[in-house]
């Protein structure tokens, strides 16, 4: 399994989430509305967030392409996609 982190513009979170769900993956976790995306002070800066999703090894490239296509603002500074290996995952749920 791999955890994929992607830094995207905040206004693209809904697009990415919908595209992942439509492809049969769960919605990503979203964290941090921090930092700015922008190449120079002349360009408008946009708030960005980090989305995270855990997928099977064989789905990494597909998920990255979905994030890339649905999260791209069509400008320089569209963020980074970072796959990380996971060595263990623990399911946490409430117990009655």
**Helix, strand, or coil (residue 83):** strand
CB distance 49 to 31 below 8 Å: yes
**pLDDT value, residue 21:** 94
The domain locations on the chain are 2-85
**pLDDT value, residue 81:** 59
Q: For the chain, how long is the longest CA-to-CA vector?
A: 56
**Would you write out the chain's pLDDT as a tens digit for each of its 96 residues?**
888 888 888 888 899 999 999 999 988 888 876 555 454 444 455 678 888 998 998 999 999 899 888 887 666 655 555 667 766 665 555 556
**pLDDT value, residue 63:** 92
**Residues contacting residue 13 through CB under 8 Å, at least 6 positions apart:** 30, 49, 51
| Fold observed for domain 2-85 | Alpha-Beta Plaits (3.30.70)
């Amino acid at each position: 399994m791999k955890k994929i982190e992607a830094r995207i513009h905040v206004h693209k979170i809904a697009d990415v989430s919908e595209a992942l769900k439509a492809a049969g993956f769960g919605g990503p976790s979203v964290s941090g509305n921090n930092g700015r995306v922008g190449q120079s002070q002349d360009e408008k800066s946009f708030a960005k967030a980090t989305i995270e999703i855990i997928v099977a090894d064989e789905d990494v490239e597909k998920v990255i392409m979905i994030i890339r296509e649905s999260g791209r603002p069509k400008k320089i500074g569209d963020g980074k996609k970072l796959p990380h290996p996971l060595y263990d995952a623990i399911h946490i749920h409430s117990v009655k």
